[in-house]
Amino acid sequence: MNVSKLIKNTSIKFGTSGARGLAEDFSQNVCVAFAMAFIEHGKRCGKLSDDNLCVAIGIDNRPSSYEMAQGVATGLIALGLDYKFHGVLPTPALAYAAMQRGEACIMVTGSHIPFDRNGLKFYYPEGEISKFDEQDILSQYIELPDELSAPELIECESATNTYINRYLNYFSELNLTDKRIGVYTHSSAGRELYLRLLQQVGATVVELGRSYTFVPIDTEAVSKEDQQTAKIWANELNLDAIISTDGDGDRPLVADECGNWLRGDVLGLIVSQFLKIEALSVPINCNSAIELSGCFKQVARTKIGSPFVIEAFVQLQKQHKKVAGFEANGGYLLASDIDEDGKLLSALPTRDALLPILVVLTQLAKLPISKMMPGLPKRYTASGKVEHVPSYVGLAFLKALQSDTERLLAELDITYRVIEFDNTDGTRLILSNKDIVHFRCSGNAPEMRCYVESDSGKRAETLLYCLKNKLSYLTEQAATTK
């Protein structure tokens, strides 16, 4: 049968990055089928060859991830392929090491979504799969092996070392001997790596919040609890910075010396200026300060999700030498090699959390993090989510927002008129007072995302709070009256 038929009655689907769904739906058969379909599609389209084909496998710290990795390995064995299991590590670490070796890789992770869910991310030697690849993988006909015997997975650490060396070589002069860096480790797949790397560059490392149960950290909508806790940590422990990531280490969190978390798109802007990027690819929900900064020759706006950001690279690289992208969640995608003063930072065209973190820490010797933003255009963003919103309810809301705009805006207590609609991904409204309001259905979980941009940080937060409450009420009403 083909993969789409196998997962037809499950929660599994491709979202903004990889296949996601309830962990219980990723049975051994499903994981075997995905692995086999990924390989077969790669061979059919010329992205993989039979010569020395070895597939790298990695996992995050979710309780379901190891067994899913066993299913993936079982599928590879059924095809007569070799694999290397790299254990728990960040997704970009696995992807980078595999790309450097010309290998494919599969990461078992649900990223930032709740612990009862999980997922699979797929990479060919040139990088993560495209939307075309996703559909063709689902349509592959797979004959599952008659006997499925899951292998014991023996861990090797080579991918982690390759990833760390990428940064130690480029940031060879980084010295944090007089800095106190808090590392919010929670259940991040990269927590051991971050502690090790910061210690190697001389920082006084203060580990914070380690958890032995999975914590779904969402860098795009940091919880009120995590916002308050960071301020307490920074004040009581005299920290120069706090760093963290989401569950699989491809989305960064950086807080300044006061414990204020930086927005992901602000981080991306700082990194792009530091690397002297010429052209950017960013999703539609990123801060408009990117264009207003005047730092870039071209900015391409895309749908939300790393595959769309990567698709835009192709055209940008035809015209510009230094090309990159980032998302509102802070994940940074480097499309071009950066060669400065004889130091090479190889391209990594997939979401990465460590590069933004190190770019900010590198500049700590000159000024505190809170002073790195004043030169940026005064546009402030806030984002949040309303959970437990079925997809049919979210889609109906977006449709009504476009067809019956005045009524919906009144119900949301928005009094300004709409001067521009953007339906690139969800519905983005530019209002007459220059505020921006953006709603979309999540591609990974049953929830709705809400983004706000304004000239005032306080107004952005206040507007977001009001919109979330109104949106929660409206969607609850719609779900109960179906």
Strands (DSSP E) contained in 185-303 are 204-208, 241-245, 252-255, 279-283, 298-302
The pLDDT of residue 52? 62
Sequence letter at residue 10: T
pLDDT tens column, 389-443: 888 899 999 998 989 998 988 999 999 999 999 999 999 999 999 999 999 998 7
pLDDT tens column, 28-76: 999 999 999 999 999 999 999 876 689 999 999 999 999 999 999 999 9
pLDDT tens column, 118-157: 999 999 999 999 999 999 999 999 888 887 788 999 998 8
pLDDT tens column, 168-198: 999 999 999 999 999 999 999 999 999 999 9
Residues 6+ apart with CB under 8 A from 68: 23, 26, 31, 59, 108, 118, 120
Q: Is residue 12 a contact partner of residue 19, using CB atoms and an 8 Å limit?
A: yes
Q: CA dihedral in degrees (325, 328, 330, 333; nearest 10)? A: -20
Tell which wins on pLDDT, 377 or 215. Answer: 215
Cα dist from 29 to 10, 67, 304, whole Å? 13, 12, 30
- Which pLDDT band holds residue 482 (cuts at 50, 70, 90)? low
What 3-state DSSP class applies to 178?
coil
What 3-state DSSP class applies to 373?
coil
How far is it, in rounded angstroms, from Cα 12 to Cα 19?
A: 6
Identified catalytic residue from 17, 64, 65, 111: 111
Average pLDDT (445-456) is: 90
Active site residue 111: yes
How far is it, in rounded angstroms, from Cα 103 to Cα 126?
A: 9
Residue among 331, 309, 215, 314 nearest 264 (CA): 331
How far apart, in Å, do the first and last CA atoms of the chain sit?
A: 34
What 3-state DSSP class applies to 337?
coil
Phi/psi of residue 10, each to 5°?
-115, 180
What are the structural domains of the chain?
A: 3-157 (3.40.120.10), 178-371 (3.40.120.10), 380-480 (3.30.310.50)
The percentage of the chain sitting over the pLDDT mark of 90, rounded to a whole number, equals: 76
pLDDT tens column, 274-327: 999 999 999 999 999 999 999 999 999 999 989 999 999 989 999 999 999 999
Query: For tokens 């995905």, what's the residue?
Result: 34
How far is it, in rounded angstroms, from Cα 29 to Cα 6?
A: 9
- Which pLDDT band holds residue 224 (cuts at 50, 70, 90)? confident
191 Ramachandran zone, left/alpha/beta (phi>0; psi -120 to 50)? alpha
What 3-state DSSP class applies to 462?
helix
